[in-house]
Amino acid sequence: MLQICRKKQAQLSRQYQQRTLAHAIIIQGIEGAGQGALAKWLIELLICQNPLSAINDPKNETISEACGQCKACLLRKTDNYPDHLLLNTENKTLGVDDIRRGNAFLEKTAHLGKVKTILIPQAQVMTIAAANALLKTLEEPSANSYIVLITDDLDSLLPTIVSRCAVYAIRPMIGEALLTQLNVSNYGDIQLSSSSTLAKKENDTAYINLSHLPELTDKIIYQEFQTFNQYFLDYLVNGQSEDKLLSQIVDNKHSLRWLEKIICNLIREYYLVNATGKALLVAEQQISVQALNQIYQAIINSNKLIKSHIQANRQFVGEQLLMTINEIVRSSI
């Protein structure tokens, strides 16, 4: 498991052991944050009949995990476990029929006894009708059932759904934490380290399943992302394109997530390229990695501000953010 998820794993393990785990859980994270791996770990733990606990040394936190040996674990490994349902979609949206399939699944008695679990890996593609059908289930949860939703964009879910779920937001690793998790053989060829058995198990899933991000699947949004990226770099490096950037931040619902992603990539690039001794794009432009980290923090704070206020003024938050970024860049040169 990626290091960044350790904290969430410890938190979820604690709630699991104390039996205070919510019956509806949203795991939210941007591209590459490891939300899929975290959800997989949690589902496996919920399914297991004989879970193990291990102390996660640095902070003395106990992390539970599936045993991998019991009848439920063995069935799950071969995809024959009857009490788990994956609500996935090949289409662009997850419809009301899919959710009804989930509701029917929950109404039946569990085959192996313990719990029933449903995983919805792309919760943000639910239609309004589907979301309303799910809402009914969330309002009257059946006993011993767990619904885990994964999304990259909490804003695209109905607030009534979000308010009925426990939300776990994870962020991708940056900086030193990322480096310790990566074995860099050469630039562009990155392998995750497998220092623990858990890491080995999760490597395959940690960085895949990104296809639901609109800029990766939609040509127009991809172009918008590229343009936005250019405006931002222009602003960051040359102090230009401020007006265009601000209007994007105000009008484009993806903009803050994109800012987070761009800065994350710059920081990753810094460490990865640095580790292989190649020229540093960021360093050439005289923006330090410390400044990038500060900017990352400012973006996260703005994002939180906008998400925590229903009537948040994006214009105001955007202006403040650009001012902060400007100050960080100027004081770091």
Number of residues that make up the chain: 333
- Residue 62 Cβ vs Zn ion, minimum distance, rounded to whole Å: 17
Phi first, then psi, for residue 208 (nearest 5°) are -105, -170
Q: Give me the 142-181 binding string for Zn ion, x by CB under 5 A, dash otherwise.
A: ----------------------------------------
Residues in a beta bridge with 61: 56
Nearer to Zn ion, 69 or 191 (CB): 69
DSSP state of 58: G
Nearer to Zn ion, 116 or 164 (CB): 116
Rg of the chain (C-alpha set) = 21
- Residue 254 Cβ vs Zn ion, minimum distance, rounded to whole Å: 40
289 in contact with Zn ion (CB under 5 A): no
Nearer to Zn ion, 50 or 160 (CB): 50
Q: Give me the 20-49 binding string for Zn ion, x by CB under 5 A, dash otherwise.
A: ----------------------------x-
67 in contact with Zn ion (CB under 5 A): yes
- Residue 70 Cβ vs Zn ion, minimum distance, rounded to whole Å: 3
- The first and second tokens of residue 32, run together, are 């590459």
70 in contact with Zn ion (CB under 5 A): yes
- Residue 18 Cβ vs Zn ion, minimum distance, rounded to whole Å: 20
Residue 180: enclosing H or E segment and its boundaries? helix 175-181
Nearer to Zn ion, 21 or 135 (CB): 21
Phi first, then psi, for residue 141 (nearest 5°) are -65, 140
Nearer to Zn ion, 115 or 190 (CB): 115
Phi first, then psi, for residue 298 (nearest 5°) are -65, -40
CA distance 245 to 318: 9
Residue 205: enclosing H or E segment and its boundaries? helix 197-206
Residue position matching structure tokens 């990038």: 292
Judged by the rule CB under 5 A, the positions of this chain that interact with Zn ion are 48, 50, 66-67, 70, 73
